[in-house]
Amino acid sequence: MSTSTSLTALQVMQDAPVIPVIVLQDVAHAVPMARALVAGGVRMLEITLRTPQALACMERIAAEVPEAVVGAGTVRSAADAAAAAKAGARFSVSPGYTSTVGRACKDVGLALLPGVATGSEIMMAQEDGYTELKFFPAMQAGGPAMLKAWSGPFFDVRFCPTGGVTQANAAELLALPNVVCVGGSWLVPQDAMEAGDWARITALAAQTQALRKA
């Protein structure tokens, strides 16, 4: 996965059952954290743009962990998309959707999983050519029942539910035909990173392999 060929959102979603949502407070954690996830079979890493260190963390992982694919999360503007691409991100995830962000990601060659929580947002993303979407915040905004309701009118859209997803409820979401993968922060607990407990992160990642869709 070290090549810089462009990825599609579907490829990002199909690589593993769970895309980890990662908040990095310390640049020194970036590389061991990424290696720990890769050791557990999780290569698509969503590094959220929520801390001042996020871009530096992406650069480190892109340079030092070639088995990982760096993604940027919390992309909310064209500037975020440009900065993420420059830092080595190859895909992006947004908590909501605007055409500005959609265009910016295309301009810099980043696959995008746009965040949606309503039918109108799905239609706006579809108008701009996006059919693989993040449902956020999934469990707070209707969970599996919402995904079932959307499968009628939005029969051609596939989702990555994120927000309130855990190892316990992921299987129910992944059993739905319009769900390709889920996203969640539970694979990378802050206390494990602070303690340097990389084995725990590898174990949490490895557990998610049992969620693989048939």
Catalytic residue positions, numbered? 46, 134
Instruction: Select 76 or 158, whichever has its Cβ closest to ligand 3PG.
Output: 76
* Position closest to ligand 3PG via CB: 185
In the complex, least distance from residue 208 CB atom to ligand 3PG, rounded to whole angstroms: 12
Residue 28 contacts by C-beta under 8 Å, 6 or more apart in sequence?
none
Instruction: Select 73 or 88, whichever has its Cβ closest to ligand 3PG.
Output: 73
In the complex, least distance from residue 16 CB atom to ligand 3PG, rounded to whole angstroms: 15
Return the C-alpha torsion angle 25, 193, 74, 82, nearest 10.
Answer: 70
**111 neighbors 85 (Cβ within 8 angstroms):** no
Residues in the chain: 214
Helix, strand, coil distribution of the chain in percent, nearest 5: 40, 15, 40
Q: From residue 192, give the alpha-carbon distance in Å to each of 32, 187, 198, 210.
A: 12, 10, 7, 22
CA–CA gap between residue 185 and residue 163 (Å, rounded): 8
Q: Which two tokens stand for residue 101?
A: 């962000």
Instruction: Select 32 or 137, whichever has its Cβ closest to ligand 3PG.
Output: 137
Which positions lie near ligand 3PG, rule CB under 6 A?
Answer: 21, 136-137, 162-165, 184-185
Instruction: Select 53 or 162, whichever has its Cβ closest to ligand 3PG.
Output: 162
Closest CA to 111 of 2, 4, 10, 1: 10
In the complex, least distance from residue 134 CB atom to ligand 3PG, rounded to whole angstroms: 8
In the complex, least distance from residue 191 CB atom to ligand 3PG, rounded to whole angstroms: 14
